[in-house]
């Protein structure tokens, strides 16, 4: 898989934005990607970034209703990437603060 296939989108929530001070960034990633693949993809896409550790979790889909019909949103995988202390931050998140 290519690096851009592994990293799908950044997760922008209050909780994920609070982690930026500790150099923790949250991304939506491919379901089949492992921690090592995610770390390599982050370092490849964002230059000057060194990954210390990656925590992953599978997020199950939520139930949604449209009238009398119910269904579920798709499940997805979330990765919280912690950078090393000497690493520079990710500019996309820094611009949002």
Q: 30 lies in a domain?
A: yes
Q: 26 lies in a domain?
A: yes
Mean pLDDT score, 18-40: 95
Q: 15 lies in a domain?
A: yes
Q: 62 lies in a domain?
A: yes
Mean pLDDT score, 1-20: 94
Q: 92 lies in a domain?
A: no
pTM: 0.89
Model pLDDT for residues 41-90, shown as the tens digit of each residue? 999 999 899 999 999 999 999 999 999 999 999 999 999 999 999 998 88
Please determine, for residue 96, whether its predicted confidence score (pLDDT) is greater than 80. Answer: no
Q: 96 lies in a domain?
A: no
What range does the domain containing 17 cover? 3-87
Q: 97 lies in a domain?
A: no
Q: How many folded domains does the chain comprise?
A: 1
Q: 94 lies in a domain?
A: no
* Residue 70, pLDDT score: 97
Are 50 and 78 in contact, with CB atoms under 8 Å apart?
A: no
* Residue 94, pLDDT score: 74
Please tell me the distance from the alpha carbon of residue 79 to that of residue 36, in angstroms, as a whole number.
11
Among residues 65, 57, 79, the alpha carbon closest in space to that of 11 is found at: 79
Reduce the DSSP state of residue 79 to 3 states and report it: strand
* Residue 90, pLDDT score: 87
Reduce the DSSP state of residue 93 to 3 states and report it: helix
* Residue 30, pLDDT score: 97
Where residue 17 sits, what CATH number does that domain have?
Answer: 3.30.70.330
């Amino acid at each position: 898989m290519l690096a851009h296939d592994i990293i799908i989108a950044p997760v922008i929530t209050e909780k994920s934005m609070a982690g930026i001070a500790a150099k923790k960034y949250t991304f939506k990633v491919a379901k089949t990607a492992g921690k090592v693949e995610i770390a390599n993809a982050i370092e490849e896409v964002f230059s000057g970034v060194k990954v210390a550790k990656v925590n992953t979790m599978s997020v199950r889909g939520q139930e949604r209703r449209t009238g009398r019909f119910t269904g579920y949103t798709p499940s997805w995988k979330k990765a919280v990437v912690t950078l090393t202390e000497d690493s520079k931050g990710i500019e996309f998140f820094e611009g949002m603060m």
